[in-house]
Every structure is written in structure tokens, then in C-alpha cells.
Amino acid sequence: MTGYGSLSEQELVVLLRAHDHAAFTEIYKRFWDKIYVVATHRLDDNLEAEEVVQDVFFSLWKRREGLAIQHSLNTYLSAAVKYQIINRQTRQYRKAAEISSHIGAGMLDDGVDSTQLWFSEKELKQQLDHYIDKLPEKCRIIFKMSRESYKSNAEIARELGVSEKNVEAHITRAINTLKNKLEISIPLILYLLKK
């Protein structure tokens, strides 16, 4: 395995496609820390970030034969982490929606009173609206344009004469503020915003 550390990304990818375990190990050692940073930046849970990174490398090994990398391996893996996180959050959102769909049936399967759950959800939605109104003005305006008017970051940026990065920063700030104030997960916040 000596010498793999001096190989270029392209050479490692060629070897990986040929089922070379040592090339995969080198890619893992070279990029694990970098994409872990990407995952922890987007998630507040270190354990979940580690799971995401492991899933990305597992997927990389499974897809090795047909691997098509247009840019750098770092860019490819960073994008894979972002997609993995989106997929996880979508699954969590669906799970929350499934629980909500049981409301109105009287009692949930595990004996939880759905009427109480409905009141809790309604109260949580009121708190969410309250904290949205308390956001700094520009942050609140951008957040509402995104979540209530369903405008894209590009549309908001054009309308307000700011950069898309600025719009993204305000939306991230708003979601993190709401998450901290309400002490609930981001998928649940996004779920409540659709109610």
C-alpha cells in the first residue's frame, strides 16, 4: 500500500473503479475529515454527521464501477454529503407527516391521545409564528418570502437586490434561531411551516 499517498485523485479513481481496496482506503483517509466538516456544518449532531459520512463512503464503494467525476473528488464527495443530508431530512419529515396523519383518528396506535397531540402541534405552530415575527427584519422578510411565498433564493435575491449567498445565510440563520428557540428539529420546523 506504500505509494498510494502520492497518487493523484484521478489515479485513485481509476484504481477504485478496478476494485482496488487500497485506493479506496487512501481516498477514505484523504477525504474523511474534509467531508465530515461539511456534514457537521450542516447538522448539529456529530454522531449523525459521522453516519452521513460513512453512508457516503459506503455508496462510493458500491458505485465504484460506474463512477463519473466531473470535477474534483472533494467536490463530488461534498455534494454527496449534502444529498445524503437532504435525503435523511426528507425521511424525517415524512415520518413527522405520518404521525400527523394519525391525528383525528382519536388515539394513535401506542395510546397517545391525538386530540392532545393536535393541541400540542397547534401550540407549537403558534410559538413558531411568534418567533418568526421576532426575527431581525431582513431575516424575517427573506425567510417569509422563501417559506410562505415559495420563492427561490435567486428570485428573492433579484427582488431585494442582494446576493444569493446573502439570502441563503439569512434563511440558515432563521432556521437555526427557530430550532434553538423551540428546541425542535429542523425537519419538524419545516413540517410546521407547511401547516
pLDDT in tens, 63-87: 888 877 777 888 888 888 888 887 7
* 116-129 per-position pLDDT tens digit: 444 455 666 777 78
CATH number belonging to the domain at 4-90, selected among 3.40.50.720, 3.50.50.60, 1.20.1090.10, 1.10.1740.10: 1.10.1740.10
Q: Against a cut of 0.85, is the pTM above it?
A: no
Q: Identify how many contiguous H helices and E strands the chain contains and give both numbers.
A: 9, 0
CATH number of 106-193: 1.10.10.10
Q: Give the type of residue at 185.
A: S
Across the chain, mean pLDDT equals 78
Q: Among residues 24, 94, 85, which one has the least CA distance to residue 52?
A: 85
